[in-house]
Amino acid sequence: MKTLICSAPRQFEYAQIPEPEPIKNHAIIKIKRVGICGTDLHAYEGTQPFFSYPRILGHELSGEIVACDDTAFKIGDAVTIMPYFSCGSCIACRRGKPNCCAQINVFGVHIDGGMKEYISVPTQYLIHGEGLNYDELALVEPLAIGAHGVRRAGLQPEDFVLVIGAGPIGIGTMELAAVSGAKVIALDINETRLKFCKEQLGVHATINATDNNALEQIKALTNNDMPTTVIDATGNLKAINNGIHYLAHGGNYVLIGLQKEAFSFSHPEFHKRETTLMSSRNATKEDFKFVIANLKAGKINPKNYITHTVTFDEVKEHFESWLRPETGVIKAMVHL
């Protein structure tokens, strides 16, 4: 069968590898869709902190079961995959947080992923498609990342939440925060993306971070209170260092985005707010289920995410272009 290997930064090679054999407690999935996300782009660029080469990318997956020994599933079922393979015995796993397992292997990041015709995965990581189509199912993972951040923040209805970064993770986070009843303010530096948030997502307000009076605009929008939750979905050092200034006293600052450097902010600014600072890593089964329920209910529109579609054979030639924001890419979806 065919696979695509990222052999070194900025290098892809198609190769032939053997098809997986059925093994106990595993299912073989015929891959139908692979979503491309920031993690894949950073891995390709050589800027993903948890990455080594060669590697087969692909962790936003949907497909059809072709072999399975678990009675919870049957041949032909459409599924998505929770790609966070956890050890089950470390302190995080024992406390119900397998998403930040100390020995985590993310399928397509730490270990070879789904950019191939068939994969074999432990059945415990399969999530039933519940009638969603393959495009929707491949969107569940990236949306679950946002759902997890939103759940970590413990939003209350009517809370103001500022989401920084209107990329694919950011807009998912905005939609899921809105579903949770919060009033979402979108902050980005790209006017086109902000316009999209206003028109397509119907967020409460949008603000351009490059405006000199961005802080005053946020103040005015929140009756001088400032947002009680700030969520970073940029993974940009400058944005992360700056985000604290937008946070209400007593608020939560949630970092979903990831970058390589040490972040820093003024201790007095952090202290006077009694800030709760938290990272949000991966997602749990609960987050996947929450996203699936909202997709089924029509509360999230898949069309907002998938801007580019390619066949498996076209991935290599198009990948480089998805690094450039001017292509307007939110999410590229690979069809197999």
Chain contacts with Zn ion (rule: CB under 5 A)? 37, 39, 86-87, 90, 93, 101, 142
Report residue 320: phi and psi, to 5°.
-55, -40
38 contacts: CB under 8 Å, gap ≥ 6: 167, 168, 169, 235
Q: Report in angstroms how near the CB of residue 317 gets to Zn ion at its nearest.
A: 21
**Rounded distance between C-alpha atoms, residue 260 and residue 242, angstroms:** 16
Provide, rounded to whole angstroms, the least separation between the CB of residue 145 and Zn ion.
Answer: 7
Residue 142 or 251 with smaller CB distance to Zn ion: 142
Question: Is the bond leading into 54 cis (omega within 30 degrees of zero)?
Answer: yes
Nearest to 28 by CA among 37, 18, 13, 36: 18
| CA gap 159, 229 in Å, rounded | 8
CB of 259 to Zn ion, least distance (A): 15
160 pairs with which residues across the strands? 183
How far apart CA 27 and CA 300 sit, in angstroms, is 29
φ/ψ region of 194 (left if φ > 0, alpha if ψ in -120 to 50, else beta) reads alpha
From the CB of 235, what's the least distance to Zn ion, in Å?
Answer: 12
- Bridge partners of residue 4, in order along the sequence: 14
Give min distance, CB of 67 to Zn ion, in A: 26
Q: CA-CA distance, 153 to 252, in Å (whole number)?
A: 6
The residue type of 108 is G
Start-to-end Cα distance in the chain: 12
DSSP 8-state assignment for residue 237: H
Q: Which residue, 222, 247, 230, is CA-closest to 150?
A: 230
CB of residue 35 vs Zn ion: minimum separation in angstroms?
7
* Shortest reach from residue 93's CB to Zn ion, in Å: 3
Q: Rank residues 205 and 330 by Cβ distance to Zn ion and give the closer one.
A: 330
**Distance of closest approach, residue 307 Cβ to Zn ion, in angstroms:** 15
State the DSSP code for 18. Answer: P
- If the CB atoms of residues 31 and 226 are measured against Zn ion, the closer one turns out to be 31
